[in-house]
Amino acid sequence: MRVEEIDSQRRLNIGMVSPYGWDLPGGVQAHINDLALYCMAQGHQVSVLAPAVDEGSLPSWVQSVGRPIAIPYNGAVARVTFGPVANRRVRRWIQEGDFDLLHLHEPAIPSLSLLACWAAEGPMVGTFHVSAPKQKAIYAVGPILEPAIEKLHARIAVSQTARTTLTEHLDTDAVVIPNGINHQAFSEGDATDEFGRNAIGFIGRFEESRKGLSILLAACEELLKKRIDFQVVVAGPGDPTEFVEKCSDELRTRLHFLGRVSDSRKQQLLRSVAVYVAPNTGGESFGIILAEAMAAGAPVIASDLPAFVDVLDRGKAGVLYTSEEMSELAAKIEELLDDSEKRAELSLAGKSRAQIYDWSVVGESVLDIYRLITATGEKVRLGSELRFSRMRSGLGRNG
């Protein structure tokens, strides 16, 4: 059946599952939040199931299963919920939801999404966000994961990099639909001159070494030696003490840690910086902040991670440098700060490129998937009960 033959006016009851703590910062949670809001704006009903630290802060359409626990995963810390109690809550949510479909995010890791995939039968979509090299741990649980993943009626990867990770780890494929942004929210609005005309921007969980803030600061030390005029603006959660202590006295006077900022403040900052730098060293499957920076008109410099290369259209919409090469990064920053025409050119190219990531494009692509897999009218229903004792023994044999 073709998408154009399907009733596009049908209102769907959609269940979405977030593997990660809803009220904690993260790209997956932001993606689910924005997708849910887009679907609701198109007239669909959405319920999101997620772990949460503060249940009182959740919107009415998000249901908590309790507090997440922290586990190391893919160079970061994932905050997830798993186990028999979570499984019972997942099954109750499915039973009471009367969903037309489930959209499970990261169903290949031990989380609510995997539990829901095990518990449910009927129309299900899985979105895979992670980019990671082949790891023994993933192959160890492969025999457990594969039957669940095969239940998915459709698989989405947020980038070609994430798709490659999926095909290598689980020998299955996916259609690529990128993360979405609100292009207008970033491109329209005021700017601020509080950090001067040569502000260098960085936004993210800077305490994670793979985000590369230490590389950016080392590059800035090189710029100081050349008497380059600049300020560094860092936004995102974390304790800056360790970074500040390692900086020279002069760099400290030019360094501004803002902490976690609101969406409107982030948008304003991206509209205001002379250059946005993404010095990440790995573990990135997409690079949503690059799309946001481009939409805001910020000239972007990014490391040449495969996902970043794709977002920046192989360097047509931003400047790429060799990952972890601090001196090369310093040279690229100096070059852009010294060339206003080049910055203006990159700003226009970036704004144009970022339009393909707007929710009006991305959201409709996801809804097309929803319409296709629900065309038969089948509803989501509960399947067999998961036996955790069998799963634990399986992990023990292979781990």
Question: Which range, 64-68, 198-202, 204-208, is most confident?
Answer: 198-202
Lowest mean pLDDT among 280-284, 357-361, 387-391: 387-391
pLDDT tens sequence across 222-255: 999 999 999 999 999 999 999 999 999 999 999 9
For residues 62 and 237, what is the distance between their CA atoms, to the nearest angstrom?
A: 23
Q: Say whether 183-357 and 3-180+358-398 share the same fold.
A: yes
- The domain ranges of the chain are 3-180+358-398, 183-357
* Torsion 257-262-268-270 (CA) sign: positive
The pLDDT of residue 282 = 87
Given a contact cutoff of 8 angstroms between Cβ atoms, the answer to whether 288 and 181 are in contact is yes
Tell the burial category of 35 from Cβ atoms under 10 Å away from its Cβ (0-12, 13-18, 19+): buried
For residues 16 and 63, what is the distance between their CA atoms, to the nearest angstrom?
A: 10
Q: What is the 3 state secondary structure string of 208-244?
A: CHHHCHHHHHHHHHHHHHCCCCCEEEEECCCCCHHHH
pLDDT tens sequence across 85-94: 889 999 999 9
For residues 74 and 69, what is the distance between their CA atoms, to the nearest angstrom?
A: 16
List of E strands, the chain: 13-17, 45-50, 62-64, 69-73, 76-80, 101-105, 120-121, 124-128, 154-157, 175-176, 199-203, 231-235, 255-259, 275-278, 300-303, 319-321, 381-382
Average pLDDT over residues 142-157: 82
Tokens of 160: 């070609």
Q: Which of the four pLDDT bands, split at 50, 70 and 90, describes residue 27?
A: confident
For residues 171 and 115, what is the distance between their CA atoms, to the nearest angstrom?
A: 21
Contacts of 389 (CB under 8 A, 6+ apart): none
Contacts of 147 (CB under 8 A, 6+ apart): none
One-letter amino acid for residue 343 of the chain:
R
Question: The domain 183-357: what is its CATH number?
Answer: 3.40.50.2000
Lowest mean pLDDT among 113-122, 129-138, 193-202, 293-302: 129-138
Lowest mean pLDDT among 30-39, 362-371, 383-392: 383-392
The pLDDT of residue 7 = 60
For residues 252 and 334, what is the distance between their CA atoms, to the nearest angstrom?
A: 19
- Bridge partner residues of 239 (DSSP): none
For residues 155 and 187, what is the distance between their CA atoms, to the nearest angstrom?
A: 31
Q: Which of the four pLDDT bands, split at 50, 70 and 90, describes residue 137?
A: very low
For residues 116 and 102, what is the distance between their CA atoms, to the nearest angstrom?
A: 8
Does the structure show a pLDDT above 70 at 199? yes
Q: Number of C-alpha atoms within 13 angstroms, CB side, residue 327?
A: 0
Q: Which of the following CATH numbers is that of domain 3-180+358-398: 3.40.50.2000, 3.30.930.10, 3.50.50.60, 3.40.50.1970?
A: 3.40.50.2000
